[in-house]
Structure 1
Amino acid sequence: MLREVHLTLALALGAGAATVAAAPAPGPSGTAPPARPSGPAGEPSSGPFGGQVGATIKNADGRAVGMLRIAGADSDKPRIVVVVSDLTPGQHGFHIHAKGVCDPKSTDPATGSPFFSAGPHFDLDSEAHPYHSGDLPDLMVGKDGTGRAVLVTDRFRVQQLFDADGSSVVIHALSDNHANIPDRYHSGQGQGGPDAETLKAGDSGRRVACGVIER
C-alpha cells in the first residue's frame, strides 16, 4: 500500500517534478540500487521531488498511512501535495502544527488525543484567529480509505516551517469547520463567538496521524 502511495504522490506532482534517470539493470542478486537523478554536470540533484520538503505520515500505531510533499522553497506560494491510505472515509481536518515532534504516546490531558507533542496549529500571527497560518482545506478520504489533495497556500513560506522547534503535519478525525460557527453558539444564552475548542482546531477532533516535516 505504501508503494502505491509513493506512486500516487509522484503522479500528483505532475510535470513539475524532476526527471529521474532510468534504474540500472538488476544484478546477479536480482536487485538494483535506486538510480540517483543527476543535475547539471552530472552532479546529483536533490531527488525526484526537486528539492522539496516533506513528511511520512504515520498513525498512532506507527504505521505509515501517507506522504506529504511541499514544493517551492523560494516561493511565497508553496505547493502542497498529500496522498493517504487506510483512513476513515469522510472529511478530515488537515493542518500544519507548530512543533516537529510526532509522539503518539504524548496525549492531550484534556481529550486523550495522541500526538499532543506536535503542539498547536502553526501560526505566524497570533492575532489572525480564527485562521492560523497552518490551516489547510479538509482532506477528503474516499470509501476505499484513500485520499489525495494538491493545494497552494500563501500563509507561510517553506523556510518558516524550519524554526527552532520545527513543524509537522497532522490529520484529525473530523472535519474542520473553518470558522463556520456551529449552531451551539446560537443557543440564545448569550454566547457570542467561537469557544476555545473551535479556536484551537476548528472542532476537528482527535489527531489520528502525524508526520514531521523534514528537508
Structure 2
Amino acid sequence: MSRRATAAALAACGLLTLAACGESDPDDRNEVNAKLVDPDGKRVGTVEIDEDDGTTQVSVRVSGLEAGYHGFHVHTTGKCEADSPSPDDPAKTGDFLSAGGHLNPDDSAHGEHLGDLPALLVNDDGSAELEFAGPFTLDDLRDDDGSAVMIHAGRDNYANVPERYAPQGPDEDTTKTGDAGDRIACAVIEPR
C-alpha cells in the first residue's frame, strides 16, 4: 500500500471513530436535567446532576419558595404526583407521597441515608442555588423505577436530636424524615 493510501485509510478510520463518538446512546448519558414542580404543577426550579470520573456534581436552582432552610432529599421512586397515596401506607395521602421514602439502599439511620442531601437555603426573594458533590451515582438514581429529588417545607434535623430534648431518642417521624415536613417541590429522575 502506498504512503498516500495508508494515510487516507488512517484518516478514514479517524473520521469513523470521531463519528462514532459523536453518536450517543441515550442510555449512556452521564447527566440528568429535571424540572422541579410544586403540587400545582408549576415549575419552581431545576436540578442538574452530572457524573464524571466517579464524581457526581449536583446543581439546583429554584425560585418562588418560602425563605429559610428546606430539607432537600432524593426519594426512592420517580413519581411526583400531587395528592397521591404513600407506597408504604395507601391510606396516607399527600403531595408527592408517590415518591416513597428517602433513597436508602443500605437501610442506614436518618442523616446517613444516601438520599439525605445538604439543606437548601432559600433567600428572602424566594430564590436559591446550591451546588455540591453527591454521595450517589446516576445508576443509584436511575434504577428500575427511577427516583425523585424533593424539597420539603421545613428544615431537616437529620435525626440529630440531643438526649436532653428527647430522653427516649428521636421519634419515628424524626428517624424516618428528619421532621422536614410537607413535600413542596419534586423533580422526576427517569429510570434508564
Q: Give SS of 1:117's match.
A: helix
The answer to whether 1:120 aligns with 2:101 is yes
**Number of positions where the alignment pairs a residue of Structure 1 with one of Structure 2:** 168
Mapped partners of 1:149, 1:71: distance in 2: 14
The answer to whether 1:166 aligns with 2:146 is yes
Identify which of 100, 112, 119 aligns with 2:78: 100
- Give unmatched runs, 5+ long, in structure 1: 1-39
| Aligned counterpart, 1:133 | 114
Identify which of 144, 159, 164 aligns with 1:179: 159
| Aligned counterpart, 2:7 | none
Identical-residue share of aligned pairs (%)? 43
- Which is higher, the Rg of structure 1 or of structure 2? 2
State the Cα RMSD in Å.
2.6
Q: CA deviation at 1:45?
A: 6.7
The answer to whether 1:197 aligns with 2:173 is yes
Q: CA deviation at 1:131?
A: 1.9
| Aligned counterpart, 2:47 | 68
Compute the TM-score of the two structures, normalised by the length of structure 2.
0.77
- Give unmatched runs, 5+ long, in structure 2: 1-17
Identify which of 122, 130, 135 aligns with 1:149: 130
Q: Judge conservation of contact 1:95–1:134 (CA < 8 Å) in 2.
A: yes
Mapped partners of 1:130, 1:93: distance in 2: 11
Q: Give SS of 1:194's match.
A: coil
- Tell me which protein shows more strand as a share of its residues: 2
Q: CA deviation at 1:43?
A: 3.5
The answer to whether 1:81 aligns with 2:62 is no
Letter in 1 for 2:131: V
CA deviations on 1:71-119 (whole Å, 9 max, x unpaired) are 11551x3110000000001110000000000001215678753110000
Q: CA deviation at 1:130?
A: 4.2
Letter in 2 for 1:78: T
CA deviations on 1:51-71 (whole Å, 9 max, x unpaired) are 411311000110000000111
Q: Give SS of 1:192's match.
A: coil
